[in-house]
């Protein structure tokens, strides 16, 4: 799924935009928010002017990284929603979401950052993902598989907790196992 701004770009402009996003993701993963826009442009093999034609600032770039990951997450959520068993749909969504986020350090840093990302720039992607989460959570609660007070916002809390424990080991999987046992009805 491409957002409207990606669809309207010429092929070369789209390649440049993707190169910037790839470079920024790699550099943010290595050094966090200390990365300079010039470094990102150089890593992408482009001039700084080309980078700024696509992204006005680092915040816009971070929003685009999150938006790109949300597009992948929407596909995961749609596949999970097709599962007949409500608990399997919930658990599959949560586990696959986290497995997809695990190698994307830039996405995790953006989601875990105390500063609120520029969600308005990716509102459609965020809303589509959130709506699927709400439906899956509601099904699992209604079927008696999740605590009656569990909400879509709680899904985000559990996911963020697991993301915060992602490191070289499998600590996040242990965290998730403990959380799943605690939220199951």
37-52 per-position pLDDT tens digit: 999 999 999 999 999 9
Inform me whether the pLDDT recorded for 118 exceeds 80: no
pLDDT in the model for residue 119: 66
pLDDT in the model for residue 1: 47
Provide the whole-model pTM.
0.79
How do residues 58-113 score in pLDDT, each as one tens digit?
888 888 888 888 888 999 999 999 999 999 999 999 999 999 988 887 788 778 87
Three-state SS for 184?
strand
What's the burial of 35, exposed, middle or buried (CB within 10 Å: 0-12/13-18/19+)?
A: buried
Share of the chain above pLDDT 90, in %: 52
Beta bridge partners of 184: 146
Inform me whether the pLDDT recorded for 2 exceeds 60: no
Task: Locate 67 and state its tokens.
Answer: 């938006």
Phi, psi of 146 (to 5 degrees): -115, 155
Kindly report the CATH number that applies to the domain delimited by 1-55: 1.10.10.60
How do residues 7-41 score in pLDDT, each as one tens digit?
566 888 899 999 999 999 889 877 777 889 999 99
Share of the chain above pLDDT 70, in %: 91
Inform me whether the pLDDT recorded for 5 exceeds 80: no
Q: Where exactly are the structural domains of the chain? A: 1-55, 66-183
Query: Rounded CA gap, 108 and 102, in Å?
Result: 8
- The CATH homologous superfamily for domain 66-183 is Tetracycline Repressor, domain 2 (1.10.357.10)
């Amino acid at each position: 799924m491409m957002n409207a701004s990606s669809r309207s770009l010429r092929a070369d402009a789209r390649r440049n935009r993707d190169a910037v996003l790839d470079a920024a993701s790699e550099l943010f993963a290595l050094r966090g928010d200390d990365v300079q826009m010039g470094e990102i442009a150089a890593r992408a093999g482009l001039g700084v002017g080309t980078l700024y034609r696509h992204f006005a600032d680092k915040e816009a770039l971070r929003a685009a990284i999150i938006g790109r990951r949300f597009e992948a997450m929407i596909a995961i959520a749609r596949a999970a929603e097709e599962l007949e068993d409500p608990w399997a749909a919930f658990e599959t969504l949560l586990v696959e979401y986290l497995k997809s986020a695990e190698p994307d350090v830039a996405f995790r840093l953006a989601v875990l950052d105390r500063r609120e990302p520029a969600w308005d720039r990716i509102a459609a992607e965020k809303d589509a993902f959130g709506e699927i989460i709400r439906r899956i959570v509601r099904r699992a609660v209604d079927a008696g598989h999740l605590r009656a007070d569990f909400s879509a916002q709680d899904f985000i809390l559990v996911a963020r907790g697991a993301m915060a424990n992602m490191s070289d080991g499998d600590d996040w999987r242990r965290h998730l196992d403990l959380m799943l046992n605690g939220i199951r009805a």
